[in-house]
């Protein structure tokens, strides 16, 4: 059975598993392994959701927010061994529900290449005339 919960204070084994998930998603290399960084990401997020099978974290996602009106969902990933079971969809739905319950009316995200079709049935669509941008220097 898979259980979903919001993580507020990660334990050492949580940090190690979250680091693994960031690596599996291709977002981090070993150079970014830093328990303090992971703790800061969890604690600094509006909310950080995990899915566990038994005691093992198999998926994660988080929302960052001004805590008043706007939020972004990011870092949603599921361990490859558990994909295509609806876990990611449940993660996004739970994050949106939490944000709405917290009074956040605007929820955005940047979908990675080839993931648009995952987010569309969950109520997300491309922003007209918007281009995601990243500071590079």
At 42-76, the pLDDT tens digits run: 999 999 999 999 999 999 999 999 999 999 999 99
Integer distance in angstroms from the first to the last C-alpha of the chain?
A: 45
Taking CA atoms, 89 is separated from 23, 108, 110, 123, 136, in Å, by 21, 15, 16, 11, 31
Confidence of residue 32 (pLDDT cuts 50, 70, 90): low
Strand intervals (E) in the chain: 2-6, 47-53, 56-65, 70-78, 106-109
pLDDT, position 134: 87
């Amino acid at each position: 059975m898979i259980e979903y919960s919001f993580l507020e204070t990660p334990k050492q084994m949580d940090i190690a598993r979250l680091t693994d998930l960031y690596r599996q998603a291709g977002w981090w290399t070993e150079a970014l392994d830093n328990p303090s960084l992971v703790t800061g990401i969890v604690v600094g997020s509006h909310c950080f959701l995990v899915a566990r099978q038994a005691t093992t974290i198999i998926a994660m996602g988080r929302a960052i927010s001004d805590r008043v009106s706007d939020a972004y969902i990011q870092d949603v990933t599921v361990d490859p061994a558990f994909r295509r079971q609806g876990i990611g969809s449940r993660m996004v739905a739970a994050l949106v529900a939490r944000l709405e319950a917290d009074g956040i009316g605007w929820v955005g995200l940047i979908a990675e290449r080839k993931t648009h079709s995952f987010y569309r049935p969950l109520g997300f669509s491309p922003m007209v005339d918007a281009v995601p941008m990243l500071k590079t220097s």
